[in-house]
Structure 1
């Protein structure tokens, strides 16, 4: 299915997936081999260089958490606390610089702090690897974006079991949602000032080679401008 999406000359900024796919290392490796950046959900038991991701996120310093919107809902912006850490870069054998950078990300409920969601992300390495934690907010936005067409355009309202019936329905639903999303974004941008979100701190690398970063905003800016 991903290969079919790559066949037409259409730009693919990010691939987002739920934990059913995200926990599959072969799926993540396939995306990396195809050169696709991704943000995928994983279960709390997901191992990241040995430890479980939930245990690594428990070690996040207070400064690593930033409150960001996960998109607009019926009652306004859906706010969560986000934290992300840069993982060791991926090197090809004999290469003089990394080829990809990986991150782990957590989203925490404001009203129920015990409710966390976990994500892994990867993108081509760009010196000096400017993508930081807060912009991995794209994870929530990308995955929540898949729920909007279900609610607004009937994405999940199909009763077929074969690809030939499923594909036209999904394609038309996503095209309708794209039109609605672009129109809504254009309306929101009218008269809105441009804002920036600088980062302001760094922390020493923990023993686990996990580098906590101050915000997910840089990744979000990059993902939304591709």
Structure 2
């Protein structure tokens, strides 16, 4: 990509960013508190074949502890502030988490089929199961602020224990779920508090 008429790699552009160009912003909430990174951006040139206009940037994310860099090539029809690009880049985590949940909770990636029809049926049922779990989790208001709301893995575990096998009574299973979610809420508060102080 070109920066001020000179072809450079994204890593070369990142080395040109002075300390004053890095801004600490959160990419969104994480399991252990806000995901803070250092962000910089550079306006990059368009090539001669581009007729769409608009603005293009190289958005650079640096991990504050490890210094690991990640790059995003951004476009907007008009100029936007850095924080807007950071917020949009952070939204990709929700998409990735959804795919991870689909793989881990409903077996989206476990299809031993060889035909398109079989694959299509498997993917459709897996996505339907994920929607079912998500609706159950979203439709259940947080009954106790001292507990984490029901999550997809917890609902899946409860369904497996209550529907497929009952090694103990329903009250015992629900008591264990309440206890577990209460301790998760305490851990989340501690993580958020620690992250917010740093």
Could you state the TM-score of these two structures normalised by the residue count of structure 2?
0.51
Q: 1:142 aligns with which of 86, 91, 95?
A: 91
Q: 1:112 corresponds to which residue?
A: 66
Higher relative contact order (CA 8 A, sep 6+): 1
Aligned residues: 128
| Structure 2 unaligned regions, length at least 5 | 142-198
More helix by share: 2
- The separation in 2 between residues aligned to 1:122 and 1:86, in whole angstroms, is 10
Residue 150 of structure 1 deviates from its aligned partner by 4.1
Does structure 2 retain, via aligned residues, the 8 Å contact 1:90–1:101?
no
| Structure 1 unaligned regions, length at least 5 | 1-47, 185-226
Q: 1:99 corresponds to which residue?
A: 53
Q: 2:74 aligns with which of 121, 135, 144?
A: 121
**Could you list the per-position Cα deviations for residues 58-100 of structure 1 after superposition, in whole angstroms to 9, with x for gaps in the alignment?**
111323211111221222111100111222357878x7xx533
Q: Is the partner of 2:45 in helix, strand or coil?
A: coil
Does structure 2 retain, via aligned residues, the 8 Å contact 1:82–1:107?
yes
Could you state the TM-score of these two structures normalised by the residue count of structure 1?
0.45
Q: Is the partner of 1:54 in helix, strand or coil?
A: helix
Q: Is the partner of 1:117 in helix, strand or coil?
A: strand
Pair 1:132 & 2:89 matched: no
Larger radius of gyration: 2
What are the equivalent positions in structure 2 for 1:1-226 lying under 5 Å apart?
48-49=1-2, 50-89=7-46, 99-113=53-67, 115-123=68-76, 125=77, 129-151=78-100, 153-155=101-103, 157-158=107-108, 159-160=110-111, 162=116, 163-164=119-120, 165-170=122-127, 173=130
Does structure 2 retain, via aligned residues, the 8 Å contact 1:85–1:133?
no
- The separation in 2 between residues aligned to 1:136 and 1:182, in whole angstroms, is 31
- The separation in 2 between residues aligned to 1:182 and 1:90, in whole angstroms, is 49
